[in-house]
Structure 1
């Protein structure tokens, strides 16, 4: 049952009472007089704010960054922050810093577990660097990333330099998006 249908319930079908309560935690609409559950499994459409400290309450961030084709893992992996602070913002003591350093190192290694992923990560970073130098819009950068990934999927990369294929992908993306750039500007 969708939100509008739940709001349309104005009286109990059993006792005709209009004293209805919406239990958000259980997802139910309940009659206060007879206790009949008029609707269950109601999806809460409201915001779901997760706050772990008072400072975060002001930010009211609901989700992380969106998926992006500009990262080899589409931005879905987790990063261990480099600032040496815990979830509440307190500085991690020196006894644990070396442990966090090792965890960060292994986390980065696990993100790029094979040669293809390493190649893709380096190529996407190179694409971003080239596109920044040319001041290209995000749409062109994303198209170039998609082009490069297609070349990887079709196994066209082997024996060619990352810079060369990245430049070709960027040039093709410029053409696809109607952004005028010459080969000399890109290369």
Structure 2
């Protein structure tokens, strides 16, 4: 959703602003432009059985998470959304993978932004989450120019290099990520992954 803002990193105006998460993210390059947005107004939407408040209650004592309040059928608030749960799990698993590869938090944050872009464009559906996380970390390694190879990540995750290569190719092409040219070994892995994909069709 375009919000009229421009990304300070790539100049794109394809910015997603999510009031529930309280952040503003560039869907082109994955940069988090703001991460502490607070909307103070109350909005209502018309439902078949009456009006309903939009948003979530955040307690002054809480650390920022959504809270249900009320009792029984009069309970207000939806709790943690499915998307938030998905992103929270991705952050945990991507951070763990980066730690195993001895990558700093910067790489984990960048990989998580790639994941959010893939999630926003519905590219995670029908794919194993471990493959998506690994592909996002590998895209980060490639764009940041680290010495990690595809096979290093597949060894840590204990997943097939061909399957990981296929997921990486699909995500990088669908997200239009500008990946630097590959070395011979990675090119061979990607070529074999493409052939494996063609044989499965």
Class of the TM-score when normalised by the shorter of the 2 chains = 0.3 to 0.5
Q: Which has the higher strand share?
A: 2
TM-score after normalising by structure 2:
0.39
Structure whose alpha-carbon radius of gyration is higher: 1
